[in-house]
């Protein structure tokens, strides 16, 4: 990489607030991924049920139901305070789980309850951190800011699962959770150093929340590209994300015969592929026809999933999961950039709230995938998800053709 390319790759890091947010995001992401490996393996081992593992995964995204409301709040209030609040919630939540583990009284029902609490905050945190990027990075660096944010989380999605799997295998759940709590604490510390991030044109008074949500829905209906992007977001959450958010632990144990360490490596391979895609996109000055890249990324994502369903060996599965991660990153990073770029600043928080509502496809997908894996097999669940995703991604591109033609 020459000097000019390196400078372009690091453009967003020249802004102080972006650097602080990126570091905070990265530590929080590492804690989340480590926590997921530890608790997902715990639930699977304690219950021997892919369906209950799916319930755990679904509870991690409970807050998506309230995403439109969260979007209104993000447009009204200081986003710095909101970021600090959500990340403090993660710290407190994990500290209670650590206390239960240290007291040897932790149960699956505790895990479910606190997964639901964290899920409420996670949806809010996602909306805030996505919405704030255009506030701290100029339009010319938006693609770079989105891609670098994703890259940081992808790096931690390698570090978190691999280290979490190792700690769980070597030292058990209590020591693993000491690391989780420490990582959340560092994330909060960096968030505290952010300056005030009040939304441009923020509304401390004015129309009711219902009226604001209705306005956002009307805005989406008037813009076919944004409507298509939100539908695509729902689809990939329904059919694509259940692989790395719920099915990989079942695949690791029941098909590949690997333990917690192997699970961490499989999740790490997926994240490594995702990071490769994010890094590549971060180095691009501009993407022409982003709609086409989103569609092709979604098709590649589901096609790679289909190959994973037919792999019964550990090493090839690592490569296939990495390929799946690359495709996922191409679709999702470009999608985030396209939504932010196509949305007016005064409604951005509310539209991102609707975008996060699309994540509700994930808990639905996790429950359905868990039921299929429980009743039939994890391979069958992957085949069904891949087929549905491939067909409907093609349908969105055909029937909402503005997405395919979109060029900014």
First to last CA, the chain: 26
For the chain, what percent of residues have pLDDT higher than 70? 87
Instruction: Give the per-residue pLDDT at 188.
Output: 94
Structural domains of the chain, with CATH: 15-195+207-405 (1.20.1250.20)
The most confident of the ranges 105-109, 209-213, 263-267, 274-278 is 105-109
- The CA R_g of the chain, rounded to the nearest whole Å, is 20
Could you give the CA distance from residue 18 to residue 136 in angstroms, rounded to a whole number? 6
CA-to-CA distance for 172 and 174, rounded, in angstroms?
6
Closest among 20, 22, 14 to 278, alpha carbons compared: 22
User: pLDDT value at position 163?
Assistant: 87
In tens, the pLDDT along 382-399 reads 999 999 999 988 888 877
**For the segment 108-120, what is each residue's pLDDT rounded down to a tens digit?**
999 999 999 998 8
Longest dimension (CA), the chain: 59
For range 305-328, the mean pLDDT: 92
Q: Cα dihedral angle (146, 177, 159, 109), rounded to 10 degrees?
A: -70
What would the pLDDT profile of 56-93 be if each residue is shown by its tens digit? 888 888 777 777 777 777 777 778 888 899 999 999 99
List CB contacts of 228: < 8 A, sequence separation 6 or more.
291, 396, 400, 402, 403
SS3 259: coil
- The per-residue pLDDT for range 273-306, each reduced to its tens digit, is 988 887 787 666 566 677 788 888 889 999 999 9
């Amino acid at each position: 990489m020459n000097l000019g390319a390196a400078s372009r790759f690091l453009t967003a890091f020249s802004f102080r607030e972006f650097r602080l947010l990126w570091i905070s995001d990265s530590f929080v992401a590492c804690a989340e991924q480590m926590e997921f490996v530890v608790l997902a393996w715990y639930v699977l081992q304690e219950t021997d049920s892919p369906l209950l593992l799916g319930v755990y995964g679904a509870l991690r995204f409970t807050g998506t139901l309230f995403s439109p409301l969260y979007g209104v709040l993000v447009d009204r209030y200081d986003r710095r305070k909101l970021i600090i609040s959500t990340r403090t919630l993660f710290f407190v939540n994990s500290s209670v789980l650590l206390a239960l583990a240290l007291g040897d009284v932790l149960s699956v029902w505790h895990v479910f309850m606190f997964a639901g609490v964290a899920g409420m905050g996670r949806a809010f945190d996602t909306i805030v951190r996505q919405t704030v990027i255009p506030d701290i990075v100029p339009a010319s660096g938006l693609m770079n800011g989105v891609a670098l944010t994703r890259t940081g989380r992808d790096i931690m999605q390698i570090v978190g699962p691999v280290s979490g799997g190792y700690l769980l295998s070597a030292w058990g759940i209590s020591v693993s959770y000491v690391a989780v709590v420490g990582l959340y604490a560092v994330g909060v510390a960096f968030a505290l150093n952010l300056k005030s991030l009040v939304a441009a044109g923020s509304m401390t008074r004015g129309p009711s929340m219902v009226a604001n949500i209705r306005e956002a829905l009307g805005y989406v209906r008037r813009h076919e590209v944004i409507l298509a992007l939100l539908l695509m977001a729902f689809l990939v959450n329904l059919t694509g994300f259940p692989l790395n958010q719920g099915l990989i632990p079942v695949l690791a144990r029941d098909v590949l015969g690997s333990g917690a360490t192997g699970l961490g490596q499989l999740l790490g391979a997926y994240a490594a592929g995702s990071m490769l895609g994010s890094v590549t996109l971060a180095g691009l000055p501009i993407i022409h026809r982003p709609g086409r890249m989103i569609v092709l990324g979604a098709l590649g994502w589901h096609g790679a999933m289909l190959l994973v369903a037919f792999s019964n060996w550990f090493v090839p599965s690592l490569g296939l999961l990495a390929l799946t991660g690359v495709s996922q990153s191409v679709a999702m990073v470009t999608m985030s950039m396209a939504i932010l770029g196509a949305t007016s600043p005064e409604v951005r928080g509310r539209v991102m709230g609707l975008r996060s509502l699309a994540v509700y496809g994930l808990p639905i997908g996790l429950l359905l995938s868990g039921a299929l894996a429980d009743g039939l097999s994890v391979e069958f669940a992957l085949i069904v998800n891949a087929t549905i995703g491939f067909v409907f991604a093609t349908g969105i591109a055909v029937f909402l053709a503005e997405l395919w033609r979109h060029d900014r």
